[in-house]
Chains A and B, each alone.
Chain A
Amino acid sequence: MRYCRVVGPMWATVKHPAFNGRPLFIVQPLDDKGVDVGTTFVAIDTVQAGVGDKVLVLSEGTGTRQILKQGDIVPIRSTIIGVVDHVESA
């Protein structure tokens, strides 16, 4: 999983049916101090995350399919699976 910040929501009308009813967000990966690292990507939300929230993002397909329970043929990889309260680093 990656530690990320929710940058903002994204909308798409024409999309693969597996994405119907799934909120889409742009997320920015962070380091343990909360500083931006790398480039943004797209994730669906399963935990009602909001803009600016620090979140945990799963970037793997099998885990995502297990969470969504939509069967085995789901073309979704990145899923926000938790809202992070804080990270303690040495």
Chain B
Amino acid sequence: MYLGIVKGTVVAERKSTGLEGTKLLMVQPVDEHGTPVGDLQAAVDRVQAGLGDLVYLVGSREAALACDPWFVPVDAAIVGIVDGIDVPDPARREER
């Protein structure tokens, strides 16, 4: 699982069977400080996330398992909206 920030909405009228009615969002994967990691991706939203939300996603096969029905062709799903992360100050990293 990994963190991401919701950057936009994907509108796709014609989709594969099982994906009717699913909400697709564009997500930028980030690290725990909000720094972008890798490329933007589309993900199925399972938690009614909104624009700008910090979320966590599950990838690969387990992304389909987050969906209902679960036998669907997806490889990224938003499975939670992050309330907070307790991370140490990166400037003090060397002291640990």
Which residues of A approach B to under 8 Å, CB–CB? 7-16, 18-19, 24, 26, 39-43, 51-52, 61, 73-78
Contacts and interface: CB of A to CB of B under 8 A. Distances in A.
Interface in B43-96: 46-48, 56, 58-63, 65-66, 70, 77, 79-88, 96
Interface of B: 1-3, 31-32, 37, 46-48, 56, 58-63, 65-66, 70, 77, 79-88, 96
Contacts of A11: 82-85
Contacts, number: 88
A65 to B, nearest CB: 9
A61 B79 contact: no
Contacts of B96: 52
